[in-house]
Amino acid sequence: MRNEDVIPTFTVALVGTPNSGKSTLFNTLTGLHQKIANYPGVTIEPSIGSFYYNSIRFNLIDLPGTYSLAAKSIDEEYTTKFIKGELSPQQPKPDCIVLVIDGTKLEKGLFLYTYLQEYNVPIIIAITMIDSIKAAGSVFDDVTLERLLSTPVVGVVGSKGLGIDTLKEQLVSNVGSTESTNPKLSNVENIEERVAWSNNVMQQVIANNHPNVTSERIDKIVLHPKLGLILFTFILAIFFQSIFSWAEPVMNLIEELVALLQGSIDSIVQNGVLHDFISNGIISGVGSVVIFLPQIIILTLLVSILEDSGYLARAAFLVDRIMGIFGLQGRSFIPLLGSFACAIPGIMSARIIPSYKDRLITILIAPLMTCSARLPVYTLLIAAFIPDISFYGFISLQVVVLAMLYTIGLLSGLIIALVLKKTKFRSDITPFLLEFPPYRFPTLKNISISIWIRTKDFLTTAGTIILSMSVMLWVLTEFPKTEAPIGTNPETAQMVQLENSFAGMIGKTIQPVFAPIGFDWKITISVLGSFAARETFISFMGQIYSTKDDTEHQPLRQVLKTSISLPTALSILIFYVFALQCMSTIAIIKRETQSWKWSAFAFAYTFVLAYVGSFCTYHLAIWFCS
């Protein structure tokens, strides 16, 4: 029977202004049956989902929030193209549009309606926030609205599921209709006419309008010049603290699990190469993907709370001036702050920046923020080379150097942002414009869905790139196989292996490139090898330098002190401040910008900074020491 696979299927576009409750409605309708849409060459990735009603399948697309369809921004262009069916050959014109309107901002939604009604697609209007309008004592006359527009109007409360069945009924009866049911508006063409029409309709529909003053009362404190900044600093501190402290125990657990799995493989698989492939190729490769999940989940959680509650717009308002100095916008502080923990979740959270160019700049400078993976490298080299002395009894020189490394990263990132902004990335809509949404309680459902979607997307897109890169790196460091003489200790054997592997050969070949910045072939190989993750630099250095005297196990820091010079140590430090020594970051930049070009650009410019920075540091240090 063919009947079963011919379920009638219709495409429904969900359109609305930002903060209209569109995503909540989308989540209510589709639940977990959604994913991030991905058309080749298109940078906007709305969610698509599906649901069944009356044996009809509805494919729902959550188009980006937009105020008009005048196609000024890429969001509007995307929405316009989608409605015209010009976005992608695989994606025909939608069968119906659901226009989501925040009832407390009816005129904004009606304004958007004046554009939508031009496209010959049936429209259903879903009014959200019906409960807050009634709570405020206003009267909303949906019958008049329906009559004035000749368009079905349904009141919904997405979070409570009210009006959802009525909306579905309306969808069933409207998608089938071939001719548009919406008569065109006449004499509504320029912006002024559209605004006037919207205001006029609104006045006929809403009576006894009481503005919602709760948000304005809260803003007296939240946006207060002094109190607001104090609150902001406080929230930022909690935010920062939780990415670090909540994620760490889980990350340690993942590392232990990986070690446990590798241990259990030892007893099952005896074959050398197969064992190595499973243990060091596959298991540690998967581990290197999964290790990012705790931070991604926590950052997505925190960002969703900030965004859904309405605080994010306020925070952006407060810090806009400071970010503006560097050509960034208020919202950029979230991804940049997150990148101090790890650039992966940080870069993913750059999606909260509406302007594509501002988002791209933020993504490109995020790797310069000092992530936690650099810290082990810093602390080891500082402990080995910077004398443990204090000025005035309490300012430790070691801490000063550490703080300097953080500052150099941050400042150079901000300067690069300014340069990019002034050259290639003039913003789409230059002056800063921000609308304050009313404060709302974030719902558990919305937050958990966004965590689920982001996690799934990370594992399936960036995760697969990271996994294949780590397997590739494993091949480069493990082949060709070198047999160490019997009786050699395992660390030495590993070192001999690394030295003779492809990575070792590459390291030795390109070593002359790194000679001017004071790297010998051992450091060069360690730097190359730590491309999987920066902190592995230490274990590589440990392996390499344990060869000299493995009779007595000195701490690595002692060994380093005698094996490398101070100028070289400083040069390594500066190299790690700048260099994008992290394949996972390269993978996530590719994912978020949809192009390897930007990954290559980020890698190249940070490498130039790293090389020049290390060169200057190395030669200055030699000059000072002599």
Smallest separation, CB 309 to another protein (Å): 16
Q: What is the CA radius of gyration of the chain?
A: 29
Where do the DSSP E strands lie in 103-151? 123-128, 139-140
The single residue among 68, 332, 477, 543 that binds another protein, judged by CB under 8 A, is 68
The single residue among 433, 444, 486, 625 that binds another protein, judged by CB under 8 A, is 433
Q: Are 405 and 378 in contact (CB under 8 A)?
A: yes
- Rounded Cα distance, 220 and 216, in Å: 6
The single residue among 27, 104, 159, 501 that binds another protein, judged by CB under 8 A, is 104
Smallest separation, CB 437 to another protein (Å): 9
The single residue among 96, 223, 559, 574 that binds another protein, judged by CB under 8 A, is 223
Per-residue x/- marks for another protein, 480-509, CB under 8 A?
Answer: ------------------------------
Ranges within 156-215 binding another protein (CB under 8 A): 191-192, 195, 198-199, 211-212
- Rounded Cα distance, 530 and 537, in Å: 5
Stretch that binds another protein, among 34-42, 150-158, 223-231, 546-554 (CB under 8 A): 223-231
- Rounded Cα distance, 578 and 617, in Å: 13
72 binds another protein (CB under 8 A): yes
Q: Are 32 and 452 in contact (CB under 8 A)?
A: yes
Q: Are 84 and 92 in contact (CB under 8 A)?
A: no
Q: Which is nearer to another protein, 102 or 457 (CB)?
A: 102
Smallest separation, CB 156 to another protein (Å): 20
Q: Which is nearer to another protein, 129 or 449 (CB)?
A: 129
- Spatial strand order of the sheet with 47-53 comes to 34-36, 47-53, 56-62, 9-16, 96-102, 123-128, 153-155
DSSP state of 157: B
User: Which candidate, 532, 516, 533, places its Cα nearest to that of 610?
Assistant: 516
Q: Which structure tokens are listed for 62? A: 């959550």
Stretch that binds another protein, among 24-32, 221-229, 401-409, 486-494 (CB under 8 A): 221-229
The single residue among 432, 452, 601, 615 that binds another protein, judged by CB under 8 A, is 432
Smallest separation, CB 223 to another protein (Å): 6
Q: Which structure tokens are listed for 549? A: 């005297």
Smallest separation, CB 216 to another protein (Å): 8
- Rounded Cα distance, 446 and 23, in Å: 8
Q: Are 591 and 462 in contact (CB under 8 A)?
A: yes
322 binds another protein (CB under 8 A): yes
321 binds another protein (CB under 8 A): yes
Q: Which is nearer to another protein, 314 or 522 (CB)?
A: 314
The single residue among 229, 237, 400, 515 that binds another protein, judged by CB under 8 A, is 229
107 binds another protein (CB under 8 A): yes
Could you tell me which residues come within 8 angstroms of residue 517 by beta carbon, excluding any fewer than 6 positions away? 571, 575, 611, 614, 615, 618
At 505, phi and psi to the nearest 5? -65, -45
Smallest separation, CB 124 to another protein (Å): 23
Stretch that binds another protein, among 104-112, 500-508, 569-577, 614-622 (CB under 8 A): 104-112
Q: Which is nearer to another protein, 184 or 226 (CB)?
A: 226
Smallest separation, CB 434 to another protein (Å): 4
Ranges within 519-558 binding another protein (CB under 8 A): none
User: Which candidate, 86, 102, 107, places its Cα nearest to that of 15?
Assistant: 102
Q: Which is nearer to another protein, 22 or 108 (CB)?
A: 108
318 binds another protein (CB under 8 A): yes
Smallest separation, CB 193 to another protein (Å): 10
Could you tell me which residues come within 8 angstroms of residue 167 by beta carbon, excluding any fewer than 6 positions away? 29, 98, 124, 126, 154, 156
Size of the site for another protein (CB under 8 A): 39
Q: Say whether the peptide bond before residue 567 is cis (omega within 30 degrees of 0).
A: no
Stretch that binds another protein, among 139-147, 426-434, 577-585, 593-601 (CB under 8 A): 426-434
Where do the DSSP E strands lie in 160-275? 206-207
439 binds another protein (CB under 8 A): no
512 binds another protein (CB under 8 A): no
Q: Which amino acid is at 178?
A: T
Q: Which amino acid is at 218?
A: I
- Rounded Cα distance, 191 and 189, in Å: 7
Q: Which is nearer to another protein, 230 or 620 (CB)?
A: 230
Smallest separation, CB 395 to another protein (Å): 28
Find tokens 């050969």 and name the residue. 505
Helix (H) or strand (E) holding 9: strand 9-16
Please calculate the CA angle 454-460-462 and round it to the nearest 5 degrees. 80
Q: Which is nearer to another protein, 2 or 226 (CB)?
A: 226
- Rounded Cα distance, 118 and 607, in Å: 51
Stretch that binds another protein, among 26-34, 167-175, 318-326, 412-420 (CB under 8 A): 318-326
111 binds another protein (CB under 8 A): yes
Site residues, another protein (CB under 8 A)? 67-68, 70, 72, 104-105, 107-108, 111, 191-192, 195, 198-199, 211-212, 216, 223, 225-226, 228-229, 313, 317-322, 324, 428-436
